């Protein structure tokens, strides 16, 4: 069983973590701060109902996640339809080679050893910058899937997207992040 | 789905790769992706890197948990503390 610490300690202990989590998903500082504030206030008001089944940090993170979902429902009330055609700058748009890699974006073999990246703080800084460069609606789905390991059913429900939209978003996010990391880290 | 189209296009092949990572491919899609990978060295590189990146993304989650990359401003923290006191 877990116990809650004094709420006055929450901000110093978890504030930056919750803020980072929110900022990566919503993409702008003001919205992320609002979400963190709402999270702390909700947690503060409902602290008597905390049952100690998960750690304080996990409990606060789950409240934050709900706030982010609410934020998205307000911001994108109807499902934004993304078509597969929209991310084609990576690929040839017409002619005999339509759908093939645009030579400017040919994936290259990376020169940096994987293990060097795993232990390198700088790599994670660059990765987080690359996530920050993605459009916010892609970044939120990206973080939810690849970092938090939510399944596609949960993500579709959280962000009110259809399964086919989900695949288009994941595909585009993967293309963008791979390209960004190649240019800024692996093939620099 | 047009088999020939899938066989040829890297756009479609990379799409199938991300779907494959969640085990959501139909048999025909599996076959066409495999055929494409046999013939396309760029997509083979993409495929290999894509799997590696998935591992790095997960590690990033742990990394952020230990060392948040973005820091709340002191003013904002003070404001939050005041809010707690009001409630």
DSSP character for A183?
I
A51, A75, A99 — which closes off a domain?
A: A75
Q: Do B77 and A118 touch (CB under 8 A)?
A: no
Same structural domain, A15 and A88: no
Window A:120-179, CB contacts with B under 8 Å: 121, 123-125, 127-128, 146-149, 152, 167-168, 170-171, 174-175, 177-178
Same structural domain, A172 and A102: yes
Assign residue A147 the CATH number of its domain. 1.10.10.10
Alpha carbon of B29: minimum distance to chain A alpha carbons (Å): 14
Provide the domain limits for residue A151: 84-186
Per-residue pLDDT at B61 exceeds 80: yes
* pLDDT tens-digit readout, B22-60: 998 999 999 999 999 999 999 999 999 999 999 999 989
Same structural domain, A34 and A93: no
DSSP character for A91?
B
Name the least confident of A31-40, A83-92, A128-137.
Answer: A83-92
Same structural domain, A59 and A138: no
* pLDDT tens-digit readout, A151-160: 999 999 988 8
Name the least confident of A88-102, A160-174, B38-52, B70-84.
Answer: A88-102
Which chain A residue's Cα is nearest to B19?
A167
| Set of chain B residues whose Cβ sits within 8 Å of the Cβ of A155 | none
Report DSSP letters for A72-94, one per residue. HHHHS-SPPP--GGGGGGGB--S
Is the residue at A34 inside a domain?
A: yes
Confidence band, pLDDT 50/70/90 cuts, at residue A15:
very high
Is residue B6 within 8 A of residue B32, CB to CB? The reply is yes
Same structural domain, A123 and A157: yes
Assign residue A54 the CATH number of its domain. 1.10.1740.10
Per-residue pLDDT at A117 exceeds 90: no
- Number of domains within chain A: 2
Which residues sit opposite A91 in a β-bridge?
Answer: A101
Locate tokens 């990376």: which residue?
A: A110
């Amino acid at each position: 069983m877990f116990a809650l610490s004094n709420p006055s300690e929450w901000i110093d202990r978890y504030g930056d973590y919750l803020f980072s989590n929110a900022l990566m998903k919503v993409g702008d500082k003001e919205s992320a701060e609002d979400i963190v504030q709402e999270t702390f206030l909700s947690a503060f008001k409902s602290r008597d109902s905390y049952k100690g089944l998960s750690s304080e940090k996990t409990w606060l993170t789950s409240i934050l996640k709900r706030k982010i979902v609410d934020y998205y429902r307000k911001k994108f009330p109807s499902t934004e339809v993304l078509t597969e055609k929209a991310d084609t700058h990576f690929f040839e748009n017409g002619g005999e080679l339509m759908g093939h890699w645009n030579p400017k974006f040919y994936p290259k073999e990376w020169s940096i050893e994987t293990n060097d990246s795993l232990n390198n703080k700088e790599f994670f800084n660059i990765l987080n910058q690359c996530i920050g460069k993605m459009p916010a609606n892609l970044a939120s789905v990206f973080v939810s899937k690849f970092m938090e390991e939510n399944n596609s059913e949960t993500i579709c429900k959280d962000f009110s997207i259809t399964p086919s939209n989900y695949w288009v978003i994941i595909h585009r996010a993967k293309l963008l992040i791979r390209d960004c990391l190649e240019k800024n880290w692996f093939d620099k | 789905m047009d088999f020939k189209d899938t066989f040829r296009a890297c756009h479609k092949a990379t799409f199938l790769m991300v779907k494959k990572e969640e085990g959501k491919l139909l048999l025909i899609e599996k076959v066409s992706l495999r055929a494409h990978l046999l013939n396309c060295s760029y997509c083979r590189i993409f495929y290999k890197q894509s799997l590696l990146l998935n591992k790095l993304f997960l590690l990033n989650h742990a990394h952020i948990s230990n060392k948040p990359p973005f820091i709340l401003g002191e003013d904002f923290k003070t404001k939050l503390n005041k809010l707690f006191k009001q409630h």
